[in-house]
Amino acid sequence: MSAFLNIVSKDLRLALRQRSDLTMAVLFFILTAMLFPFGLGPEPNLLARIAPGIIWVTALLSVLLSLERIFLADYEDGSLEQLVLSRASLEIAILAKVLAHWLTTGLPLILAAPLIALLFNMDTEAMTILLFAMLLGTPSLSLIGAIAATLTLGARRGGVLIPLLVLPLYIPTLIFGVGAIDAAMNSLEAGAVIANARPHLLLLGAILLVSLLITPLAGAAALKQALE
């Protein structure tokens, strides 16, 4: 446990000292989302209808931008070798690094999401569901993305490869993430919002559990072979 917290706190400290890392993903998120009204026109109903999709797709792309950061610096400066050799289990270490990544990428995105939701005329109920969905979905994005980040260490054009590896695996999260908000927006009675969004949220939770299981295993295997 102490090794876990040690890694999380170090990665957080690194991110806080290099603030550009922290703000880049959020800035990208907001700016990209803002482009859509210019491309599609300012009609409020249209924007409200497509808002869930836009928010999720842009959030997904913002996470994508930051994935390489999780392991690349550690790989290049030799920290990764020390991490593999340290007493902490590699699986725990990977989870710690993913948590740090989520805290510095996923969480800021969630905090910025209501702002975009406002710009797109989303109503409050849908916004609440949006936050729940992102809370359940963005950790999966970090977890699945971490696998691709470990696999591409030392590859030629690793940064270009990551999107190709990760995007097919992100599709379920995208579908259920958007589905939850759509279900909330389409429910006619006020009381049915939660009930309608529930299956989607549960499925997002299930994806999170599966990712929590796969990432440490696949990541540890990938890291070991990356250092050989």
By CB under 8 A, residue 164 contacts another protein = yes
HSE-up of residue 123 (Cα within 13 Å, Cβ side): 10
- Rounded to whole angstroms, the Cα distance separating 69 from 8 reads 14
Q: Phi and psi dihedrals of 121, rounded to 5?
A: 60, 35
Query: Which of 13/31 has CB closer to another protein?
Result: 13
Site string for another protein, 174-193 (x = CB under 8 A): -xx--x--x-----------
By CB under 8 A, residue 78 contacts another protein = yes
Cβ within 8 Å of residue 136, ≥6 positions away: 201, 204, 205, 208
Query: Which of 30/72 has CB closer to another protein?
Result: 72
By CB under 8 A, residue 17 contacts another protein = yes
CA dihedral over 177, 44, 62, 4, signed as positive or negative: negative
Greatest Cα pair distance, the chain, in angstroms, is 59
Query: Which of 71/112 has CB closer to another protein?
Result: 71
Closest C-alpha among 41, 196, 45, 36 to residue 123: 45
Q: Which of 40, 77, 111, 115 binds another protein (CB under 8 A)?
A: 77
Give the footprint of another protein on this chain (CB under 8 A): 2, 6, 10, 13-14, 17-18, 73, 76-79, 81-82, 84-87, 147, 151-152, 154-158, 161, 164-165, 167-169, 171-172, 175-176, 179, 182, 203, 207, 210, 214, 218, 221-222, 225-228
